[in-house]
Amino acid sequence: MTYCLGILTRFGLVIAADSRTNAGVDHISTYQKLFDFSVPGERTILLCTSGNLSITQGAIAALEKDIKHKEEINLHTLPSLAEVARYIGNKIRGIQEQDRPFLERDRIDFKCSILLGGQVMGEEPNLYLIYSQGNFIHATKETPFLQIGETKYGKPLLDRTLTANTPLEAAAKCALLSIDSTMKSNISVGPPIDIVMYHTDSFTIRHRLRLRLGDPYLAKIRKLWEIYVKQAFDEMPEVEWEYDEDDFKEDILID
């Protein structure tokens, strides 16, 4: 499994992904799932992939090939991020069309999804989730984050801390903690974690980080977060029962 998320605030973008992939218990490997197709100074294009690895690797290879062969339409020529999303969606459709009958008859999941975050000169930054079927949605002010893969464990923290006005540094911290929560609750999501932070209109990736297994910073934030959550939990008021032991004894006495 995989967990990737993108956050779009009015200050820019944060994109983060784990790097574990598994096809059964005894086949757990590490693959990069965050890809940077930016042209510094011109456009920022960041992708995260989840789902069937042969399909997503095929899609990434096709995107790279179009750039290398200077095809008329490629990630570096399309005039808007929405058109980039549609182009990527069509790539997924094409690859799935080839492989789907062979995978489907052996009941192999051929689904995949892609997060696309970035900014094309002349536009605001944006964040898209491209579905396995090639259609896509984008983040909004009300829902400033999008997730793919193993999304549920890490969602409560995002729901409680993120808005469209969250500063980028806080959004990045939130993304790391969301991935860490997922890793703790689900063994199929694991390090290295890749994270990138992009400031609106900078057209340059100035903040990136790869956190490997056993990385002291990763260990530190996990330990601290456990301590802080435990403290928060301890400070919460006890359950106010409808009747407690004393009421119950009174009931007995009355009876």
- Residue from 161, 164, 188, 200 binding a second copy (CB under 8 A): 161
Identify the three-state secondary structure at position 135. Answer: coil
Residue 1 lies near a second copy (rule: CB under 8 A): no
Q: Which is nearer to a second copy, 86 or 210 (CB)?
A: 210
Phi, psi of 125 (to 5 degrees): -65, 155
- Residue from 56, 149, 197, 203 binding a second copy (CB under 8 A): 197
Bond before 192 cis per omega within 30 degrees:
yes
- Residue from 72, 160, 214, 254 binding a second copy (CB under 8 A): 160
Q: Which is nearer to a second copy, 19 or 74 (CB)?
A: 19
- Residue from 65, 141, 152, 212 binding a second copy (CB under 8 A): 152
- Evaluate whether 192 touches 213 at the Cβ level (below 8 Å): yes
- Evaluate whether 59 touches 95 at the Cβ level (below 8 Å): yes
Q: How many CA atoms lie within 13 A of 78 on its CB side?
A: 21
- Residue from 237, 253, 254, 255 binding a second copy (CB under 8 A): 237
Residue 138 lies near a second copy (rule: CB under 8 A): no
Which of the 8 DSSP states describes residue 83?
H
Per rule CB under 8 A, count of chain residues that contact a second copy: 54
- Residue from 41, 79, 94, 156 binding a second copy (CB under 8 A): 156
Distance CA 106, CA 14 (A): 37
Residue 228 lies near a second copy (rule: CB under 8 A): yes
Report, in Å, the least distance between residue 61 CB and a second copy. Answer: 27
Distance CA 6, CA 148 (A): 9
